[in-house]
Amino acid sequence: MLIDSISKLINQQINREFFSAYLYLDMSAKAENAGFKGMAAWFMAKYQEENQHAMKMIRYLLDHGAQVELASIENPSSDYSDPLDMFEQTLIHEQSVTASILNLVDAAMSSKDHATYIFLQWFVTEQTEEEATVGDIIAQLKLVGGRGEGLFMLDKELGSVAATVMQPALAGTV
């Protein structure tokens, strides 16, 4: 059984994961409205991934006999000047999620909750990958510098990446 303070922190993280999903759903819609269907697909894949993260945490709480306490999801800020701004905001957001998960890891360590500490290692690794991926996209966007041809190519590439990510996620949905 989890101690209350750890359960409370995991519930807060579940809310952050659902907010992340909501944020990426908003970004997906904004990208598609701007004509970037590949970026929209990439953000939609991120939306699905964040929902899966939240569900993984919910399952962890339930498996440990803890209460799941869902909270309201805040509205995402949806003012982006261009794709570069959108991905820079994504990086800032992912860095805040990383900080939150690391805070949870610290709490698990200090309370000697070994099971939660081990469970959270997957999320630590995932966040490292998330930040690196978004950093790479930002670097590519800076390289193309807003030029149409470069944005077109990057948009196509992100759409292809999203398609490979979404296929396994959608496989068990029917």
Distance CA 95, CA 86 (A): 14
How many of the other CB atoms lie within 10 Å of CB of 132?
11
Q: Is 155 helix (H, G, I), strand (E, B) or coil?
A: helix
| pLDDT (average), residues 52-70 | 98
Residue 172 has pLDDT above 60, yes or no: no
What are the residues whose beta carbons fall under 8 Å from the beta carbon of 45, sequence distance 6 or more?
161, 162, 165, 166, 169
Q: Which two tokens stand for residue 163?
A: 């398609």
Confidence of residue 174 (pLDDT cuts 50, 70, 90): very low
Q: Which fold has domain 4-171?
A: Ferritin (1.20.1260)
Helix (H) or strand (E) holding 114: helix 114-144
pLDDT digits (tens, 9 = 90+) for 112-152: 999 999 999 999 999 999 999 999 999 999 999 878 889 99
pLDDT at residue 78 is higher than 80 = no
d(CA 119, CA 73): 24
Say how far apart CA 97 and CA 41 lie, in whole Å: 22
**Residue pLDDT, tens place only, 84-119:** 999 999 999 999 999 999 999 999 999 999 999 999
Instruction: State the pTM of this model.
Output: 0.90
Cα radius of gyration (the chain) = 17
Helix or strand run (H / E) with residue 89: helix 83-110
Of all residues in the chain, the percent with pLDDT exceeding 70 is 94
Mean pLDDT, the chain, rounded, equals 93
The predicted structure's pLDDT at residue 173: 44
Residues 75, 11 contacting (CB under 8 angstroms): no
